[in-house]
């Protein structure tokens, strides 16, 4: 009887040890699991999606931004006094009500001047390897400085923009709270705008839900479109979180692009002959919202844009059925649009430089 009791006690002890130790061993070998959408392709509760190896990744949701900085950046994004005329804002060309773009062939700048190139969307711009079509800005902070001083856009200059903000006590207070000093600099202005822009992502698209294992979120036609998107070679440039933005490619890789021979693209940055007509690959997230398409805004039709890509980049002609299926897939990439409450901006005073429309 004593032997039986001893055996039972030993078995219970071994079971208890295994029960306690096993999770420790597993957790030591496996990285922590995120809940919700994440970079590991994990679904809610930490399960790994069977589609985690797909070349397109679901947009991760992040809540780790500096709220004071992003709130300041939001005010600056909608601040018309950063422009010479006191009328143009970042939102003028990157309208958050219309897919983060202005839906114009080229943007309208100071004194109604027309820009030289189609404005790309600001939504999901954090996933770009560089900013602007030619990649001349390495990140959003560097990009944010450009339009303020561009004579065809906001037409101000950095010193004047800072002078305007410095004259407004509430801005001085906000900058001090974020950056620790009352002196406002253009670097901090751009940093705050960039911080806000980094929050402008569009998660929860139907395609992202499918990537995370929810089979019923896309139709058979849309899934066929995705398979064609991969089979035809579109995926080689349009992949990752943004479904693009990861590389620079020549427009006219398979056939010289004859619709626009004047815009030289990355060549203007590098002066390397090989970079003529090379552009940053655009993001395809929310593509149905951001017509017209391409750097030259040469088409308003998403179907035509797909056919142009097939002809000039892949050297092939798609059937109408193939085009329709790919377009159907592309529309599944539209995610939740940022819901932004327009900020109330602090008032000017007698010391604030007045707008100049000349």
Catalytic center residues? 153
Q: How many CA atoms lie within 13 Å of 242's alpha carbon, on the beta-carbon side?
A: 23
Query: Which residues, at least 6 apart from 164, have a Cβ–Cβ distance to it below 8 Å?
Result: 81, 82, 352, 353
CB 188 within 8 A of CB 175: yes
Written as one string, the DSSP assignment of 287-335 is GGGS-SBTTTT-BS-HHHHHHHHHHHHS-----HHHHHHHHHHHHTT--
How distant is the alpha carbon of residue 170 from its chain centre? 30
Residue 208: Cβ within 10 Å count: 24
Q: What backbone torsions phi and psi does residue 33 show, to the nearest 5 degrees?
A: -100, 130
338 DSSP 8-state letter: P
In angstroms, the first-to-last Cα distance of the chain is: 104
């Amino acid at each position: 009887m004593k032997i039986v009791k001893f055996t039972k006690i030993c078995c219970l002890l071994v079971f208890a040890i295994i029960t306690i130790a096993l999770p420790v061993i597993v957790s030591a070998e496996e990285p922590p699991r995120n809940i919700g959408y994440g970079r590991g392709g994990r679904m809610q509760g930490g399960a790994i999606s069977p589609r985690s190896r797909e070349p397109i990744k679901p947009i991760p949701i992040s809540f780790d931004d500096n709220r004071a900085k992003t709130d300041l950046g939001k005010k600056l994004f909608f601040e018309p006094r950063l422009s010479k005329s006191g009328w143009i804002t970042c939102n003028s060309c990157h309208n958050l009500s219309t897919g983060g773009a202005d839906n114009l062939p080229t943007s309208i700048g100071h004194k109604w001047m027309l820009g030289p190139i189609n404005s790309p969307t600001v939504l999901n711009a954090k996933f770009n390897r560089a900013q602007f079509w030619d990649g001349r800005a390495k990140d959003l902070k560097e990009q944010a400085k450009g339009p303020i001083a561009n004579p065809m856009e906001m037409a101000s200059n950095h010193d004047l923009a800072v002078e305007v903000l410095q004259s407004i006590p509430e801005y001085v207070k906000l900058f001090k709270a974020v950056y620790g000093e009352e002196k406002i600099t253009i670097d901090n202005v751009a940093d705050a705008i960039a911080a806000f822009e980094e929050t402008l992502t569009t998660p929860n698209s139907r395609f992202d839900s499918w990537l995370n294992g929810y089979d019923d979120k896309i139709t058979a036609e849309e899934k066929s479109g995705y398979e064609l998107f991969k089979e035809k070679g579109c995926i080689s440039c349009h992949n990752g979180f943004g479904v693009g933005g990861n590389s620079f490619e020549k427009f006219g890789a398979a056939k010289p692009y004859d619709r626009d021979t004047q815009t030289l693209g990355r060549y203007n940055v590098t002066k390397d002959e090989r970079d003529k007509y090379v552009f940053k690959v655009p993001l395809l997230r929310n593509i149905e919202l951001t017509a017209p398409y391409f750097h030259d805004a040469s088409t308003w039709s998403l179907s035509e844009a797909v056919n142009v890509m097939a002809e000039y980049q892949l050297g092939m002609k798609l059937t109408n059925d193939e085009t329709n299926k790919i377009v159907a897939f592309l529309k599944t990439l539209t995610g939740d649009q940022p819901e932004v409450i327009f900020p109330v901006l602090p008032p000017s005073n007698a010391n604030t430089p007045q707008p100049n429309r000349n």
